[in-house]
Amino acid sequence: MHEWTEETEKLAAGVLQYTTERLHLRPVPLDGPRTPAQLAAEAGATVTAAGIGGSEALRIFAEVLAPACISIDHPRYFSFIPCAPTPASTLFDLVVGASSIYGGSWMEGAGAVHAENEALAWLIELAGLPESAGGVFVQGGTLANLSALVAARHHDRSRRQAAGRALPERYAIAASTEAHSSVGSAAAVMDVDIIGIEPDRDGRLTGEGLARALARSALESPGRAPFAVVATAGTTNLGIVDDLSSVAEVAKTADLWLHVDGAYGAAALAVPARRHLFAGIERADSFVVDPHKWLFAPFDCAALVYRQPELAKAAHSQHAAYLEPLRTGQEWSPSDYAVHLTRRARGLPFWFSLACYGTDAYCEAIERTLEVAQYAASRVRALDYLELICDPVLSIVAFYRRGWEDAEYYRWSEALLSSGVGFVVPTSHRGRTAIRLAVVNPRSSESDIDTVLASLA
């Protein structure tokens, strides 16, 4: 099985041919889910004692399995947060797989970790954190948020213990009610409370709102200590950026760790004209931005950055007899900075693409998506059967279809997918069902927007 045979040679050609053909498709087919029974019937038994052979397995993938997966890079995939990897990043993903790199430690993956750190350095510079900041590419924004918050709590505990102060009865994280669901999930995993803060009229968490919520929490739950605040730089539902400056001010006064969740939105830091939206991010203790969202890297790739990486290392380093040889004293080992140990060098496809095209190309591609989002908002405003929820701050456009009940939104969404036109799932805003277009694919055009909006008439 590990020998390179003529069969393997054919398989290599087949895999490379499939890959290049898939990358050439314009547009890619949208495709869509099938039932377990359909897939079982069409794919047949694939895992057998004798094996079905590489060519047959690849045929089944190409003809049965891949068409049962929605193409996230389709130009009319506007649901959730899509992903539109560059050809260079996708191709390099193959190289990463072929290179058998252990991306957890400096000793084993120094070259890969160096390149990943170059990519992180660009993000650190965009955010305005000091050069001494550093971090790691993890699987997604969820794991990044959890890892940052674990580091924050560890830091608080260590400081209390060092000062001989008692630990609180309960720990808590302060966050807007509009924060991503992964923040609540991190709190549940960590068994800490959430101090939920209503955003202001524009949907933003502000320093004033944070200060009020902290004061109320101190009165109502005196035994509970907040240790971190999560601000969002680009909410998932509407793309709203919290008032990071005022939140940072209050967080610093209250001696709280400031974590900025820019998993989706912080990519817009690459566009100079939008950078003002993120003023205050430079004061964050940690932030996340996902290259697999709006920075054109394939799944899965989230960049997690710490102002003081040594605080994260203190929280996350794993110690075991068999791991000690990795500790040479000078090493920068990515596994020290999140809740993980073994890791794929998943930042490499992003690094390769950045190196290949240059950062200006990133700025242009993001600007293009912002332009298309603005176009979508202007069309929604102009069409009398639609009602815009708010002007898009970034590249998410949310609106209502006047006169529709919930069920009509869902019927429309299903028909759009089953007809192969597009993938747009409903969301809700303030309890009312709505439509939401997330534009992160530079290949999504004005005419793709027109097609979707026309289908709502």
Ligand X SMILES: Cc1ncc(COP(=O)(O)O)c(C=O)c1O
Give the 3-state DSSP-derived string for the chain, with helices as H, strands as E and coil as C.
CCCCCHHHHHHHHHHHHHHHHHHHCCCCCCCCCCCHHHHHHHHCCCCCCCCCCHHHHHHHHHHHHHHHCCCCCCCCECCCCCCCCCHHHHHHHHHHHHCCCCCCCHHHHHHHHHHHHHHHHHHHHHHCCCCCCEEEEECCHHHHHHHHHHHHHHHHHHHHHHCCCCCCCEEEEEEECCCCHHHHHHHHHHCCEEEEECCCCCCCCCHHHHHHHHHHHHHHCCCEEEEEEEEEECCCCCCCECCHHHHHHHHHHCCCEEEEECCCHHHHHHCHHHHHHHCCHHHCCEEEECHHHHCCCCCCCEEEEECCHHHHHHHHCCCCHHHHHHCCCCCCCHHHHCCCCCCCCCCHHHHHHHHHHCHHHHHHHHHHHHHHHHHHHHHHHHCCCEEECCCCCCCEEEEEECCCCHHHHHHHHHHHHHCCCCECCEEEECCEEEEEEECCCCCCCHHHHHHHHHCCC
Nearer to ligand X, 8 or 185 (CB): 185
Q: How far is the CB of 262 from ligand X (least distance, A)?
A: 7
Q: Does 243 bind ligand X (CB under 6 A)?
A: no
Which of the stretches 25-33, 55-63, 140-148, 195-203 binds ligand X when contact is defined by CB under 6 A? Answer: 140-148
Nearer to ligand X, 105 or 147 (CB): 147
Contacts with ligand X in 95-134 (CB under 6 A)? Answer: none
Q: How far is the CB of 59 from ligand X (least distance, A)?
A: 32
Q: How far is the CB of 141 from ligand X (least distance, A)?
A: 3
Q: How far is the CB of 166 from ligand X (least distance, A)?
A: 33
Q: How far is the CB of 307 from ligand X (least distance, A)?
A: 19
Nearer to ligand X, 135 or 168 (CB): 135
Which of the stretches 111-119, 214-222, 259-267, 311-319 binds ligand X when contact is defined by CB under 6 A? Answer: 259-267
Q: Does 178 bind ligand X (CB under 6 A)?
A: no
Q: How far is the CB of 169 from ligand X (least distance, A)?
A: 29
Q: How far is the CB of 433 from ligand X (least distance, A)?
A: 19
Which of the stretches 211-219, 248-256, 261-269, 324-332 binds ligand X when contact is defined by CB under 6 A? Answer: 261-269
Q: Which of 113, 263, 271, 397 binds ligand X (CB under 6 A)?
A: 263
Contacts with ligand X in 323-362 (CB under 6 A)? Answer: none
Nearer to ligand X, 142 or 246 (CB): 142
Contact map string, positions 287 to 306, toward ligand X, x by CB under 6 A: ---x-----------x----
Q: Does 81 bind ligand X (CB under 6 A)?
A: yes
How many angstroms separate the CA atoms of 386 and 404, rounded? 10
Q: Which of 141, 280, 309, 334 binds ligand X (CB under 6 A)?
A: 141
Q: How far is the CB of 324 from ligand X (least distance, A)?
A: 32
Q: Does 180 bind ligand X (CB under 6 A)?
A: yes
Contacts with ligand X in 142-161 (CB under 6 A)? Answer: 142
Nearer to ligand X, 261 or 282 (CB): 261
Which of the stretches 94-102, 219-227, 257-265, 398-406 binds ligand X when contact is defined by CB under 6 A? Answer: 257-265
For 205-260, where are the alpha helices, taking DSSP H only? 207-220, 244-253
Nearer to ligand X, 144 or 311 (CB): 144
The token pair at 340 is 């993980």
Q: How far is the CB of 81 from ligand X (least distance, A)?
A: 4
The token pair at 4 is 């390179």
Nearer to ligand X, 204 or 379 (CB): 204
Q: Helix, strand, coil proportions of the chain in percent (round to 5)? A: 50, 15, 35
In the complex, which residues of this chain contact ligand X (CB under 6 A)? Answer: 81, 140-142, 180, 182, 232, 236, 261, 263-264, 290, 302
